[in-house]
């Protein structure tokens, strides 16, 4: 199932912030619509956001990291790339 959604990040927003918000929104949408056996792939073209998510010492994206962990507990497979 392919789902396409659009939302605004504000009048002025960095690419990093926009990608962070997009991943957070995607995780919210997925969490509301997914079943236990689903395979989930979230695509991002911002390597710096993905690297920050991997660095658990960086607390900037803790809310996104928590959403990822919650979703990982519910789905069969979760990939960020």
The predicted-structure confidence for 19-67, as pLDDT tens digits, reads as follows 888 888 888 888 877 766 678 888 888 888 888 888 878 788 888 888 8
Cα gap 81→6, rounded to integer Å: 20
Cα gap 8→69, rounded to integer Å: 25
Considering the entire predicted model, what is its pTM? 0.76
Q: How many CB atoms lie within 10 A of CB 64?
A: 17
Instruction: Give the model's pLDDT for residue 1.
Output: 63
Cα gap 8→18, rounded to integer Å: 9
């Amino acid at each position: 199932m392919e789902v396409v959604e659009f939302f605004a990040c504000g009048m002025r927003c960095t690419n990093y912030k926009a990608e962070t918000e997009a991943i957070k929104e995607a995780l919210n949408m997925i969490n509301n619509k997914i079943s236990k056996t689903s395979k989930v792939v979230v695509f991002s073209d911002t390597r710096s956001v993905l690297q920050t998510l991997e660095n658990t010492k960086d607390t900037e994206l803790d809310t996104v990291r928590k959403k990822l962990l919650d979703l990982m507990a519910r789905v069969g497979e979760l990939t960020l790339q």
